[in-house]
Structure 1
Amino acid sequence: MADAGSSEPRAAGEIQAVDRAAQILRLFGPERPRLTAAEAAELLQLNRTTTYRYCVSLVAAGLLERGGESGTFVPGALLVQLGAFAIGRRQVVDLASAHMRSLSVDTGLTSVLSLWGSMGPVVSRVEEESARSVVVTVRVGTQLSLASAQAKIFLAHQSDRDRAERLLAVLPDELRAEVGREIRELGAPDDIAVGIDGLGIHAIAAPVFDEYSVCASLALIGTNDMLPFDVNTEIAARLREAASALSREMGSAIPTAD
């Protein structure tokens, strides 16, 4: 038995809090993509007020987000970022490997697959063209800028336009206006986004869809000499083909390039 000075009661409380949070997160799935605190309380047989406080805390932590319907909660983007180190288990990352290797060989460029994290795209797989003497690359786990080509792809296909605007609010006014304009022009599933980091590195990105919505961004990166800042080149066409093929493997019914 713990003595009066023991910290066990606090430790036990913390473990219970984590367990309760996990129980709430486990309620979400394909059959239940969103729910209210009241529904969660009923399913878990918990106090409604307590359950609501847990949901609000999970929103603050980025593990949940407010849903589009009043009073609802949906899984948060931070869940993706927290799994960055184990991201190889994600189906799209596994399926992308062969497409990315072929894409890099065909174009002589580095291919990058990104998933959406809490505040932007997170690099989840990288394939380099080893035959080149100079290789432009990026580390897995890197969170990319909201002005990157990959971010523009996700934001263009973001169903919650208010959330997209809130995210872009962190950018300087002039850059936010420019990115916003580019995003509005990327409505079609075959549209390619372009980006430049200011250091002479170019990127072009295309969306990858699963059966629900955009699930990843497939990009090519290189120097301005290696990668033209143009979405109408053979390189861009090859990127479209790879993203389209991967989308089909992910079960997408969205018409994309063949």
Structure 2
Amino acid sequence: MPAEKSSRGIQSIEVGGQLLLALAHQGRPMALKDLAREAGMAPAKAHPYLVSFCKLGLIEQEAGSGRYGLGPLAMQLGLISLQQFDPVRMATPLIEDLAASTGHTMAIAVWGNRGPTIVRVAEAPSPVHVAMRHGTVMSLRGTASGWLFAAYRSGNEVQSVLALEAASAAEGALRLDDQAFQAKLAEIRVQGMARVVDQAIQGVSALAAPVFDGQGQLLLSITGIGPSATFDTAWDGALAGAIRDCARGLSRQLGAKI
């Protein structure tokens, strides 16, 4: 008979791992007493773990101050992890699960040379859905994805895309310092997501939440879209919560401290 797989781990490794987690969370070298406190253990208990981690290269101790920081092996593991990370690949199964659980179409948008661009779509399982195509560039002022990127990308990038949109629509360019525009962006930052109701297309609504990296930069949006009649756009609604939770969970995987 095949051996049963066990989920039992090694407790001492899990306990010592709290020291690594504390260092990663603080992002700076720490004194023994401070590091031990953050890891929830006494300094005398923490010290033997730190000695072993230093021998492995996971942690190193500063010669002058005696503080402990992440070591060369931790840095190497971090670089390898970054090379393996593909945020779009990581987000794809998440939007598929969201589409299945919410009944609405979900999409991933990234910042392209002409603005927010759809790169993945998970269609709703129900017969009624709103079609979005890969490669579609989303309007900054007409879509939830667009408003989200406008709120979190640099001012120069946003102004450039606003100028492109104005030129293609043969209308006056909107200035980034327009009061109404800035008020909308401020609301998005407070709510942690963007929404539109019957804006770009009558009868269609959308919600978009940001995914950040470890430096706090916006990498992509998780966007839900559907018929306004059945699409709950309430900031505190179940749909908004599901999209927010998905984006925040992925942000944490990518190193964001949120």
TM-score of the aligned structures, taking structure 1 as reference length: 0.57
CA apart distance, 1:199: 2.5
* Structure with bigger gyration radius: 2
Query: What is the total number of aligned residue pairs between the two structures?
Result: 163
The one-letter amino acid paired with 1:197 is A
Is structure 2 residue 132 aligned with structure 1 residue 138? yes
**CA separation in 2, counterparts of 1:175 and 1:204?**
23
Give the 3-state SS of the residue equivalent to 2:226 in structure 1: strand
**CA separation in 2, counterparts of 1:199 and 1:145?**
15
**CA separation in 1, counterparts of 2:182 and 2:201?**
19
2:251 to 244, 247, 257: 247
Residues 114 and 181 (structure 1), Cα distance of their counterparts in 2 relative to 1, 3 Å cut: same
The one-letter amino acid paired with 2:227 is T
**CA separation in 2, counterparts of 1:194 and 1:153?**
8
RMSD over aligned CA atoms reads 2.3
Contact 1:114-1:122 within 8 A present in 2 as well: yes
CA apart distance, 1:129: 2.3
The corresponding residue for 1:50 is none
Is structure 2 residue 199 aligned with structure 1 residue 205? no
Q: Deviations over 1:150-198 (max 9, x none)?
A: 111112112x32442343344456987554431132224x611012313
Give the 3-state SS of the residue equivalent to 2:139 in structure 1: coil
Residues 179 and 230 (structure 1), Cα distance of their counterparts in 2 relative to 1, 3 Å cut: farther
Contact 1:137-1:221 within 8 A present in 2 as well: no
Contact 1:112-1:126 within 8 A present in 2 as well: yes
CA apart distance, 1:243: 0.6
Give the 3-state SS of the residue equivalent to 1:187 in structure 2: helix
**CA separation in 2, counterparts of 1:198 and 1:144?**
12
The corresponding residue for 2:187 is 185
Contact 2:211-2:247 within 8 A present in 1 as well: yes
**CA separation in 1, counterparts of 2:86 and 2:235?**
28
**Following superposition of structure 1 onto structure 2, how do residues 73-84 of structure 1 map, counting pairs within 5 Å?**
none
Give the 3-state SS of the residue equivalent to 2:96 in structure 1: helix
Give the 3-state SS of the residue equivalent to 2:206 in structure 1: strand
The one-letter amino acid paired with 1:141 is G
**CA separation in 1, counterparts of 2:186 and 2:249?**
25
Contact 2:162-2:174 within 8 A present in 1 as well: no
**CA separation in 2, counterparts of 1:206 and 1:139?**
19
CA apart distance, 1:136: 1.3
Is structure 2 residue 229 aligned with structure 1 residue 225? yes
The one-letter amino acid paired with 1:154 is F
**CA separation in 2, counterparts of 1:90 and 1:111?**
21
Give the 3-state SS of the residue equivalent to 1:186 in structure 2: helix
**CA separation in 1, counterparts of 2:235 and 2:172?**
26
**CA separation in 2, counterparts of 1:184 and 1:173?**
23
Residues 231 and 152 (structure 1), Cα distance of their counterparts in 2 relative to 1, 3 Å cut: same
**CA separation in 2, counterparts of 1:231 and 1:241?**
13
The corresponding residue for 2:107 is 112
**CA separation in 2, counterparts of 1:107 and 1:204?**
13
